Amino acid sequence: MPPTVAAVDVGGTAIKYGILRDGILEPRAEIATPLRGPDTAREVVDVVAEAVADLRRQSDIEAVGLVVPGHVDAESGIATRSDNLGWRAAPLRDQVAARVGLPVAFGHDVRAGALAEARLGAAQGLRDVLVVPIGTGIAAGVVLDGRLLERPGPFGEIGHLDAGHTRPCVCGRIGCLEAIASAAAISRAYAEQNGHPATAAEVAARVGQGDPVAALIWQQAVEALARTLAPCVTLLAPDAVVIGGGLAGAGDLLLRPLRRALERLTPLEIDLRPAALGTLAGCTGAGLLALDLLGDAEAG
């Protein structure tokens, strides 16, 4: 039986935590993320230590998995940068380890979610998987041979590739993929062009109802996504491509035209699937990173 581990997912608004036991995440609670300030990193370490103490009152835990947003250097355990949380070069892994006295695995929230979808979610049992969450932003996680691809610098940031349009992006550049194809961008484009606010899910529903404004916005988003994903998919030929985040809630309204566009653009057949773990993917992945850490230590 695999060890029981703690899993902690630090998000922009809440810190979620729970226990990963026998391949199942048992969510325990959420605590509001400390407000952005000069001491956010220290306060987050406090909350994480409390969360782990809470979990240890219920279960024997052998390790902690901790994931955070922003730029992350998984190897050195450093949260390099988060604009939302305001930290720079915060050595969170070692600080949490010193507080809780357990081995701590450290990673990036989106990539940990990708690992969880590959091992326990939509692509369970597959070896090489590309996971693309599409929500406020667009990112990508790569699992090869069942292990998460990690790099010290920023990477996987496919949302900030040029997609050949003229809308401004939050990053300050013009034409980024996520400024036309993220759930937030779709919602914003519809509000601008139609005068009525609508979530991306509502825009998707209106595509089904024959709304021409919705249809054009949706088609542009799908085409931009396909143009960006096609080279990634062709380069790696993963066993499956998992689409997650809010936009995956549109289901076949998204996946069917995206699959069609990808098959037009690439020489491969593509197994495109919706994510299965929803908002618990990151926390589940944190637990998996902790299991990998214990496994690697044992393997020597």
Which position among 136, 220, 266, 279 is part of the footprint of a second copy (CB under 8 A)?
266
Residue 267 is a binding residue for a second copy (CB under 8 A): yes
Q: How many CB atoms sit inside 10 A of residue 132's CB?
A: 28
Q: Which stretch binds a second copy (CB under 8 A): 34-42, 90-98, 153-161, 179-187?
A: 153-161
Tell the smallest beta-carbon distance from residue 39 to a second copy (Å). 29
Residue 144 is a binding residue for a second copy (CB under 8 A): yes
Residue 136 is a binding residue for a second copy (CB under 8 A): no
Q: Which stretch binds a second copy (CB under 8 A): 34-42, 157-165, 186-194, 270-278?
A: 157-165
Q: Which stretch binds a second copy (CB under 8 A): 44-52, 77-85, 115-123, 258-266?
A: 258-266
Residue 153 is a binding residue for a second copy (CB under 8 A): yes
Q: How many CB atoms sit inside 10 A of residue 145's CB?
A: 7
Q: Two tokens at 122? A: 């939509």
Q: Are 86 and 40 in contact (CB under 8 A)?
A: yes
The strand order across the sheet containing 272-274 reads 147-148, 141-144, 129-133, 240-244, 272-274
Compute φ and ψ for 114, nearest 5 degrees: -65, -45
DSSP annotation of 280 reads G
Listing DSSP states for 152-182 in one string gives: SS----GGGSB-S---B-TTS-BSBTHHHHS
Q: Are 148 and 106 in contact (CB under 8 A)?
A: no
Name the residue nearer to a second copy (CB basis): 99 or 227: 227
Which residues between 166 and 185 bind a second copy (CB under 8 A)?
A: 171, 173
Tell the smallest beta-carbon distance from residue 126 to a second copy (Å). 12
Report the C-alpha gap between 158 and 257 in whole angstroms: 20
Report the C-alpha gap between 27 and 14 in whole angstroms: 13
Name the residue nearer to a second copy (CB basis): 196 or 260: 260
DSSP annotation of 37 reads S
Residue 271 is a binding residue for a second copy (CB under 8 A): no
> Which residues lie across from 154 on neighbouring strands?
none
Name the residue nearer to a second copy (CB basis): 45 or 163: 163
Which residues between 225 and 254 bind a second copy (CB under 8 A)?
A: 227-232, 234-237
Place of tokens 């949490």: 96
Q: Using a CB cutoff of 8 Å and minimum separation of 24, what contacts does 202-209 make?
A: 204/249, 204/250, 204/253, 204/254, 205/253, 207/253, 208/253
Which position among 31, 201, 216, 265 is part of the footprint of a second copy (CB under 8 A)?
265
Q: How many residues bind a second copy (CB under 8 A)?
A: 32
Do the strands 5-10 and 147-148 form a parallel or antiparallel pair, or are they unpaired?
unpaired
Q: Which stretch binds a second copy (CB under 8 A): 31-39, 42-50, 160-168, 182-190?
A: 160-168
Q: Which stretch binds a second copy (CB under 8 A): 19-27, 156-164, 194-202, 213-221?
A: 156-164
Q: Which stretch binds a second copy (CB under 8 A): 15-23, 79-87, 105-113, 223-231?
A: 223-231
Which residues of the chain form contacts with a second copy (CB under 8 A)?
128, 140, 142, 144, 149, 151, 153-158, 160-162, 171, 173, 227-232, 234-237, 264-268
